Amino acid sequence: MPNSWFSPAELAGWGVFGVFFFYGLKLTPAKLRAGLGNIKLHIVVQLATFLLFPLLILGAIFVTGDWKSNYYLWLGIYFVATLPSTVSSSVVMVSIAKGNVPAAIFNASISSLIGIFLTPMLMSFVMSAGNDLHSFGHIVIKLLIQVVLPVGAGMLLNRFGGAFADRNKKILRIFDQGVILAIIYTAFCQGFSDKIFDTVSIGELAILLVAMTALFFAAYYTILFICKIMKFSREDTITATYCGSKKSLVHATVMSRVLFADPATVSIIILPTMVYHALQLMIVSVMAGREGK
């Protein structure tokens, strides 16, 4: 039932709308105002998220010079670089490590909003509109319908439904996870059906694991170095390194449905994000536990 409203693909599409609506519903003006003051910290986090990561990946592509041999895997790695920071896990880890929590909330929230527009823009630089990426007009329409409209509607209704969203954070988190699973399920089913994974060997998966680990530590220690130069406090350094080095699996899965023209390639493109997401949670949770003692 590929065209049914109750097919996994259709449910995932409606789920994307719901994810961004509830994100807007939870985004209160007070949360944004709480961290506005520390401009230098905000600049470091956002530049790390949307400039440092793409430069690191483009540098790696330039050094290896062999990105065409597995184009979609490299495209997925670059996709990781263009994604915004996570919201919930960034704030939780900063809190555990006793960092600047209000600034973490502000930066993670702003990063997600910026990513709605900047991720497609950064991806368009390396993709041909006629093949891998939807046409620009189609992207704009899908962004408006599936992302901007629900976020805006949620923010407008925050006064009436914000308390509901706060009371039901666990349920909404389960909803987010369900949407992610639905998108991953449909993407991987399509990928296996079209034999996309036949193009990725075990050796390449091992290299991907090493590459994502190297990417995390390269970004983390670059941000840490910048924080030391700028003489950030311990709390601000924790916030900058944790928020600036993390990438959102939620945005990767939902934005992949908006950006990419061929559903069969989505499974390969989001694979590096899944690997990076798992690694960042494991690594940062250990770091946060040590910092918080």
pLDDT band of residue 32 (cuts 50, 70, 90) is low
pTM above 0.75, yes or no: no
Residue-averaged pLDDT of the chain: 80
Residues 132 and 112: their CA atoms lie apart, in Å, by: 24
The pLDDT tens digits of the residues spanning 136-174 come to: 555 566 667 766 788 788 888 988 888 888 888 888 878
Given a contact cutoff of 8 angstroms between Cβ atoms, the answer to whether 223 and 44 are in contact is: yes
Give the tens place of pLDDT for each residue, 44-95: 999 999 999 999 999 988 888 767 777 888 889 999 999 999 876 787 788 8
Q: Taking the domains of the chain in order of start, what are their residue ranges?
A: 8-291
Q: pLDDT-based confidence at 3, cuts 50/70/90?
A: very low
pLDDT in tens, 235-255: 999 999 999 999 988 788 878
What DSSP element (H or E) covers 58?
helix 53-64
Query: What CATH number does the domain located at 8-291 have?
Result: 1.20.1530.20
Residues 196-233: pLDDT tens digits?
Answer: 566 677 888 888 999 999 999 999 999 999 999 999 99
d(CA 75, CA 132): 10
